[in-house]
Amino acid sequence: MRKELAISPSERGSASDKRERLIDVVFHEAFHQYIFYVADEYAAAVWFNEGNACYFQGIDFISGEKAKIEPTSRCAKMKEIAVSGKIKVEDFIQMKHVDFYAKRDTSYPFSWGLMFFLHKGAPVMKDKNKYSEIPGKYFSALLELRDGDKATAKA
């Protein structure tokens, strides 16, 4: 309600580890605020909100004129989840917040992996696909329908 972003710095690790974690958390949490306000204060579905926050958190803005986005440490966990078949995309995008956070060990890497694929993988695939259009379609549907779950169904 105060429209503030308050973050508590970590007390574990070396000074450089603390700084790196703090920057990651700031990018991640700031993205949540950004998407909320740019979407006219409508709540995005958890897969879109957390997935993009995790994706945005991994951007390197220091590498020159273009932002650099590389697979993060979540990549190995995402591969493990994908190989196990424990999460199906269709079920994941319908997941409610409480379930997402209850399964955070798999939800965060899976949401990051999904968004990494939609933003980076799908656009360069040899086979023609429309996966890369999903984030834009989702956001347009969120603005139109004002409901994250309905936007998921439409996108």
pTM: 0.88
> Considering the domain boundaries, does residue 2 fall inside one?
no
Is 69 in a helix, a strand, or coil?
Answer: strand
Q: What separation in angstroms does the CA of 120 have from each of 26, 95, 101, 141?
A: 23, 23, 25, 21
* Confidence at residue 145, expressed as pLDDT on a 0 to 100 scale: 97
> Considering the domain boundaries, does residue 9 fall inside one?
no
The band of 64, judged by pLDDT with boundaries at 50, 70 and 90, is low
pLDDT in tens, 23-50: 888 989 999 999 999 999 999 999 999 9
> Considering the domain boundaries, does residue 121 fall inside one?
yes
pLDDT in tens, 87-138: 999 999 999 999 999 999 999 999 999 999 999 899 999 888 899 999 999 9
Is 136 in a helix, a strand, or coil?
Answer: helix
Instruction: Say how far apart CA 154 and CA 119 lie, in whole Å.
Output: 19
> Considering the domain boundaries, does residue 10 fall inside one?
no
Tally of domains within the chain: 1
Domain that holds residue 99: 15-64+72-154
Is residue 9 pLDDT above 90, yes or no?
Answer: no
> Using an 8 Å Cβ cutoff, are 40 and 143 in contact?
yes
